[in-house]
Chain A
């Protein structure tokens, strides 16, 4: 139940893009068509879902005082987390290049740039500061990725829809994307504040 709660919370209630404004650069740059956004969204779900548990293992067994080295190595956290993320992104890149060259070319530089997508590193750091266990961090990774995926395909569909609107010249492109993101943030505030745990504990 706790795991499910973390998934729902990270996907809808504390959405990485719309509540924390993480991962904005690729969110704004790759959201011009639903098809590419869909591909990048899936890549982010995969990378978040797989780096989070690996980073949890690293943090727990290598870096903490109770780990194999027996000393506090947490100052290495950033560099190790980024190394894991970078190697996972390499993997994703190779897979996408092999199976969907079309998507690979349309994503362009933004695929390797998932490495420095702050949503991914931010997710791993949230996991540490919130003291999740292994299963919870997996659920947080998948939920956070799913929330990011939903946000990017929603804004991509809206941007496709307004492509032929008579938007004032000064706002075309990024200006409109910022207004859209702000208004989407307001819309996503609808679920903010729901605490499922309080209901499940009351029922028992």
Chain B
């Protein structure tokens, strides 16, 4: 009957064409429920399998993608000093520009990552694991919009092979795969991912009068469409305005505390996310929407999120009391307006594979991420933001925390015997 018969007819032979069969199997289960069942004793709680779980996270990330697409364009035009009067002027240009930047990052990440996934699956002779769906959706959101594609390819290869496949595939990794890809870029190609100049895309430099870099997509493809519709078009002769630096709030806070930050950005701008930064981490409301979705479906652990909030708040209050540098004097509640705290909290720290798996362990794990991340952000002059490294550091200790929680429990129950 129709589609399913056609799909069953084209099934490649498992022995002769293992790669094609793995590919076939992966896409078949996207469309239909597999007709073979698990044999042996399984304990089924509900119909929530790995694929549904992953899709919830990918859905939760869509708010960040929507906002990020607009914000990449918005920051580009703010640097040029056009359409910067309101968030909605030149809306079609901002969206078009954001799409030109984000789609290549997204497509390349998925092609490279899924390619490796398919290849290892056929090599090992098991079905495709869905692990890369979420990782691939996270990676473009935590990269600067202008990251050269070849660096992105290298970082994805590193993270997927060293960080995941070497450990035995999905669900076995110790460190968060998306963060490993970012940390690879961060240490191997630092100039492409830190400093003031990388967070705004499509301009040659930050000095006044620097020219824009438009390619065929802007001037050829979109301009001809917008001209036909009678809308405003990309202007290839635009230049960067006077006094624009592209500095992120964290850089400014390091230079001169909260006063220096508010000279350039308002608190509202930072909260809503109209600031330079990685593609998807700037807008706090959009991230919190995604976080609510994850909490509502039970995918993410609320213990880790609350623990991390408490840890970061305590750390920030402690640094306020110390007050040895302008950054330490930033009021603790304003620390949450800057940087990517909420993105790390909602999507990175709660990764169920790399976090602690016991309930008490989750509190400790979340708390320490919050506490250490704030210290790294404020006290380490080498790194502008601390959450990526704090999460990787606590991933290292997650297994140890679990070990001691188990031991304590064993001891407690032995005493009751």
Contacts and interface: CB of A to CB of B under 8 A. Distances in A.
User: Are A and B genuine complex partners?
Assistant: yes
B339 to A, nearest CB: 15
Interface stretch (B80-88, B139-147, B245-253, B389-397): B389-397
Interface string A84-99: 0000000000000000
Contacts of B399: 154, 157-158, 160-161
Interface residues of A, number: 33
A180 B168 contact: no
Interface stretch (B31-39, B58-66, B322-330): B322-330
A12 B396 CA distance: 13
A44 B396 CA distance: 21
B168 A165 contact: yes
Contact of A199 (B180, B325, B400): B325
B325 A187 contact: no
A202 interface: yes
A203 B322 contact: yes
Contact of B322 (A166, A192, A199): A199
Contacts of A188: 393, 396
Contact of A162 (B172, B322, B381, B382): B172
A166 B379 contact: no
Interface in A139-174: 153-154, 157-158, 160-162, 165-168, 171
Given A34-B403, A167-B168, A189-B187, A184 B324 contact: no
Given A165-B167, A193-B381, A194-B379, A154 B396 contact: yes
B187 A162 contact: no
Contacts of A161: 174, 399, 402
A162 B325 contact: no
Nearest to B124: A166
Contacts of B393: 187-188, 190-191
B163 interface: yes
Contacts of A193: 380-383
B364 interface: no
Given A157-B403, A189-B187, A203-B324, A166 B174 contact: no
A113 interface: no
A187 B400 CA distance: 15
A161 B353 CA distance: 12
Contacts of B172: 162, 165-167
A191 B380 contact: yes
Interface in B124-178: 124, 162-163, 165-169, 172, 174-175
A200 interface: yes
B383 A190 contact: yes
Interface of A is mostly: helix
B380 A187 contact: no
B306 interface: no
B376 interface: yes
A190 B392 contact: yes
A34 B166 contact: no
A195 B169 CA distance: 38
A29 interface: no
B183 interface: yes
B382 A158 contact: no
A190 B379 contact: no
Contacts of A160: 399, 403
A176 interface: yes
Nearest to B171: A165
Given A157-B399, A190-B393, A200-B324, A183 B175 contact: yes
6 contacts: A157-B403, A158-B396, A166-B169, A167-B172, A187-B393, A189-B389
**Shortest Cβ-Cβ A-B pairs, 5 listed:** A190-B389, A193-B382, A166-B168, A157-B400, A165-B168
Interface of B: 124, 162-163, 165-169, 172, 174-175, 180, 183, 187, 322-325, 328, 372, 375-376, 379-383, 386, 389-390, 392-393, 395-397, 399-400, 402-403
Given A158-B400, A167-B172, A180-B174, 18 more contacts: A160-B403, A165-B172, A166-B172, A168-B165, A176-B166, A183-B180, A186-B187, A187-B396, A189-B389, A190-B386, A191-B380, A192-B382, A193-B380, A193-B381, A196-B379, A199-B324, A199-B328, A203-B324
